[in-house]
């Protein structure tokens, strides 16, 4: 057994070469226990395993912390609404795994590791609702194949995540779960349909999670949350026990905060399943471990292809395209070659090639034929009004769609073979290792605003694997993901490329709205505003004193400001402007109106304002009747720096 532990730790050191030990941190000031605890915030599988192996923590303690984070941030704080149900037995299961570790050692790298699963995966003991009130009382008789594999690996499933209802959309809104919010900006959507898993993993509600992808539903939330997500080759993993949307495209798979964690999750969930005949295609194609591909560097000789229509040609596509072009430049700077590909007619072939609308009705009905399900068809759901209004038009179109023997359906299926053949041919001819593009050509939109620009179709209809890795942040401060598509069964090579890019760039940073619960809260920032700091300087006896408190959990800035040396009625405005020291910039936040010489309040920062705040590019100023352009000014020093949390 000692040999098993040594072997596992050797593997973990390979997956996280920089640091194995997870820092132990003190509880926030004011905690009467002031006990030292291992912090789960942004922790990796390797770090948590090392901490459990050393005795610094236990699976029960780790699971408790994740449940505490869900309590603090899912219904309170930024109210992400990522979780749809919690496993009441999670702590007991974690405790049992702790006993097993002590008695016989860990089963492997997932032993005692808390994860979440999307609520279209069957799981004994919890309802499988797919976000639909029609299935609120549906308790399946057994686990989905991949859920069973996770349990066998020793993972603790802390709960199930919200999703776009019945997986039919990319904004994650459902009649049972409501609207999930993006932790990078709670006013925006999290992508979908696996948006609950994306938000939960990004906010450290678990180490990693499972999603499903019919046309981007793993990859789009990964893009929007600075996560790593993989859609595998058709047949890599079983769909048994996952509520279908379109079985010719459906794939289940992992989402994680790092490529190493994704590789470990992938190892645990792939493989043959007699209940899903497509998994026979994977015979001889799956390596003993995907962690063997976690190799940094090696860019010399790598050839990356691009398709201009996927990069985006409209002005609205430019912010995301800029980030992707910077990512490509980082690769070429290390010796890779970027090759512009020409595939005439590919964009037209992809248009209308996704088959959700045609397959959904009959394949959902097949799943609902299981004894005990409360509804039996999409017509049943529509007739009873058991759906969210945002889904009505899609449901009705699917209910009216012709059957799978319709010539139009068969024509689309045949068109997919052409897409696959043409893409593989040009990749082989030009020796392309992967095709690179943004998963979606715009950052997460405000809740209620349609989300445009998806590039989901190429991987989904060709059956070729694709991985998403954090590529950086657009000018609005929101994450952007780089998608890499490879030939059939190239998951290992895609993991190698994604890991090399991750280690080269280190773009992942946690959302500010869900910081560590164990570290000290941000203290106040107090500034004295004078005319000397104004641009140009102002000779005036007027001064001001302003205090700012950053509240990461809600993404808000609390302020308290007073002006001295001038009558109240002389004060016109107090503002926060956008601009670095020594420069003038536009008004960003109005703090007070005319006649207010003393003001306090709280303001929610947009993602763009938060970017400026973290960069030290907001300044406080006071405008008076005698000095319309501004009498006094103070640059607001950032209370946190990008990629850190309070207490770092």
How confident is the model over 466-477, as pLDDT tens digits?
A: 999 999 999 999
Could you give the CA distance from residue 53 to residue 491 in angstroms, rounded to a whole number?
30
Query: Tens digit of pLDDT for each residue in 173-191?
Result: 999 999 999 999 999 999 9
Task: Give the position of tokens 């000031």.
Answer: 29
Nearest CA among 69, 97, 70, 92 for reference residue 83: 70
CB 409 within 8 A of CB 179: no
Beta strand ranges found along 178-301 (DSSP E) = 178-179, 208-213, 228-231, 251-256
Nearest CA among 100, 101, 93 for reference residue 123: 93
The encoded tokens of residue 535 equal: 């641009």
Query: Tens digit of pLDDT for each residue in 197-255?
Result: 999 999 999 999 999 999 999 999 999 999 999 999 999 999 999 999 999 999 999 99
Q: What's the whole-number mean pLDDT along residues 368-380?
A: 96
Could you give the CA distance from residue 220 to residue 438 in angstroms, rounded to a whole number?
9
User: What mean pLDDT is reported for the chain?
Assistant: 91
> What is the longest distance spanned by two Cα atoms in the chain?
83
pTM comes to 0.84
Beta strand ranges found along 218-274 (DSSP E) = 228-231, 251-256
Could you give the CA distance from residue 238 to residue 279 in angstroms, rounded to a whole number?
6
Paired strand residues for 178: 174
Task: Give the position of tokens 């599988």.
Answer: 45
> What's CA 642's distance to the chain center, in Å?
17
Q: How many Cβ atoms are within 10 Å of 541's Cβ, its own excluded?
A: 10
The encoded tokens of residue 74 equal: 């899912």
Nearest CA among 409, 131, 115 for reference residue 246: 409
> What's CA 537's distance to the chain center, in Å?
45
pLDDT of residue 602: 84
Paired strand residues for 438: 482
Q: What is the C-alpha R_g of the chain?
A: 26
Please name the helix (run of DSSP H) or strand (run of DSSP E) that holds residue 269, with its range, or none.
helix 259-269
pLDDT of residue 618: 94
Q: When comparing pLDDT for 561 and 19, which is higher?
A: 561
CB 547 within 8 A of CB 538: no
Q: Which of 59, 175, 217, 554 is catalytic?
A: 217
Beta strand ranges found along 420-564 (DSSP E) = 434-438, 466-473, 479-485, 525-529, 543-551, 556-564
pLDDT of residue 119: 98
Does 523 have pLDDT greater than 90? no
For the question of residue 217 being annotated catalytic, the response is yes
> What's CA 614's distance to the chain center, in Å?
21
Q: When comparing pLDDT for 258 and 523, which is higher?
A: 258
Nearest CA among 503, 413, 460 for reference residue 250: 460
Task: Give the position of tokens 């904004």.
Answer: 171
pLDDT of residue 450: 93
Nearest CA among 198, 204, 151, 238 for reference residue 45: 204
pLDDT of residue 552: 72
pLDDT of residue 76: 87
Q: What's the whole-number mean pLDDT along residues 383-399?
A: 96
Task: Give the position of tokens 């190799």.
Answer: 295
CB 451 within 8 A of CB 189: yes
Query: Tens digit of pLDDT for each residue in 268-326?
Result: 999 999 999 999 999 999 999 999 999 999 999 999 999 999 999 999 999 999 999 99
Does 487 have pLDDT greater than 90? yes
Nearest CA among 182, 163, 180, 83 for reference residue 120: 163
Q: Checking DSSP bridges between strand 632-635 and strand 587-592, what pairing results, if any?
A: unpaired
Nearest CA among 425, 481, 493, 435 for reference residue 459: 435
Q: Which of 44, 118, 258, 543 is catalytic?
A: 118
Q: Checking DSSP bridges between strand 114-118 and strand 208-213, what pairing results, if any?
A: parallel
Please state the φ and ψ torsions of residue 536, each to the nearest 5 degrees.
-75, 165
Query: Tens digit of pLDDT for each residue in 557-579?
Result: 889 999 999 999 999 999 999 99
Respond yes or no on whether the N-terminal peptide bond of residue 522 is cis (omega within 30° of 0): no
Nearest CA among 249, 240, 272, 227 for reference residue 128: 240
Q: Checking DSSP bridges between strand 337-340 and strand 303-306, what pairing results, if any?
A: parallel
């Amino acid at each position: 057994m000692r040999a098993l532990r040594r072997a596992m730790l050797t593997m973990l050191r390979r997956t996280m070469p920089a640091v194995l030990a997870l820092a132990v941190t003190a509880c926030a000031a004011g905690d009467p226990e002031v006990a030292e605890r291992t912090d789960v915030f942004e922790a990796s599988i390797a770090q948590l395993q090392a901490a459990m192996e050393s005795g610094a923590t236990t699976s029960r303690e780790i699971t408790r912390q994740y449940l505490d984070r869900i309590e603090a941030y899912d219904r309170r704080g930024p109210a992400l609404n990522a979780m749809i149900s919690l496993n009441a037995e999670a702590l007991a299961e974690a405790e049992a795994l702790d006993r097993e570790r002590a008695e016989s050692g860990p089963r492997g790298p997932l032993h005692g590791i808390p994860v979440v699963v999307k609520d279209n995966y069957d799981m004994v003991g919890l309802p499988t609702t797919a976000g639909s009130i029609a299935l609120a009382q549906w308790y399946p008789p057994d686990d989905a194949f991949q859920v069973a594999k996770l349990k066998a690996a020793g993972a603790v499933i802390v709960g199930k995540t919200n999703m776009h209802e019945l997986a039919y959309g990319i904004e994650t809104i459902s009649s049972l779960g409501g609207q999930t919010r993006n932790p990078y900006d709670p006013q925006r959507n999290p992508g979908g349909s696996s948006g609950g898993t994306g938000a939960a993993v990004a906010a450290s509600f678990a180490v990693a999670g499972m999603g499903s992808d019919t046309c981007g539903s793993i990859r789009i939330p990964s893009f929007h949350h600075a996560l790593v997500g993989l859609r595998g080759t058709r047949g890599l993993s079983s769909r048994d026990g996952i509520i279908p949307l379109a079985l010719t495209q459906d794939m289940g798979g992992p989402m994680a905060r790092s490529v190493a964690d994704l590789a470990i999750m992938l190892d645990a969930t792939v493989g043959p399943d007699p209940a899903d005949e497509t998994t026979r295609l994977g015979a001889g194609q799956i390596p003993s471990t995907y962690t063997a591909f976690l190799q940094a560097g090696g860019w010399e000789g790598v050839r990356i292809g691009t398709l201009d229509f996927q990069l985006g040609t409209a002005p609205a596509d430019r912010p995301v395209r800029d980030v992707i072009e910077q990512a490509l430049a980082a690769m070429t700077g290390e010796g890779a070659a970027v090759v512009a590909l020409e595939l005439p007619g590919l964009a037209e072939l992809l248009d209308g090639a996704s088959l959700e609308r045609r397959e959904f009705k009959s394949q959902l009905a097949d799943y609902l034929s299981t004894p005990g399900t409360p509804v039996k068809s999409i017509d049943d759901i529509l007739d009873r009004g058991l759906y969210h209004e945002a889904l009505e038009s899609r449901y009705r179109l699917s209910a009216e769609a012709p059957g799978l023997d319709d010539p139009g359906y068969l024509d689309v299926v045949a068109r997919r073979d052409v897409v696959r053949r043409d893409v593989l041919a040009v990749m082989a001819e030009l020796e392309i290792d992967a095709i690179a593009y943004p998963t979606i050509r715009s950052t997460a939109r405000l809740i209620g605003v349609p989300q445009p620009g998806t590039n989901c179709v190429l991987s989904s209809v060709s059956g070729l694997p694709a991985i998403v890795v954090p590529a950086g942040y657009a000018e609005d401060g929101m994450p952007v993901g780089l998608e890499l598509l490879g030939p059939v069964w190239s998951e290992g090579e895609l993991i190698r490329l994604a890991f090399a890019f991750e280690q080269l760039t280190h773009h992942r940073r946690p959302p500010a709205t869900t910081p560590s619960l164990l570290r000290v809260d941000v203290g106040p920032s107090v500034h004295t505003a004078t005319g000397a700091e104004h641009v140009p300087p102002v000779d005036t006896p007027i001064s001001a004193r302003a205090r700012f408190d950053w509240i990461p959990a809600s993404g808000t800035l609390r302020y308290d400001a007073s002006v001295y040396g001038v009558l109240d009625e002389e004060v016109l405005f107090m503002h926060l402007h956008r601009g670095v020291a020594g420069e003038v910039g536009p008004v960003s936040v109005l703090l007070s109106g005319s006649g207010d010489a003393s003001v306090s309040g709280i303001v929610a920062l947009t993602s763009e304002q938060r970017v400026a705040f973290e960069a030290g590019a907001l300044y406080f100023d006071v405008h008076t009747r005698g000095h319309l352009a501004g009498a006094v000014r103070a640059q607001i020093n950032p209370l946190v720096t990008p990629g850190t949390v309070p207490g770092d």
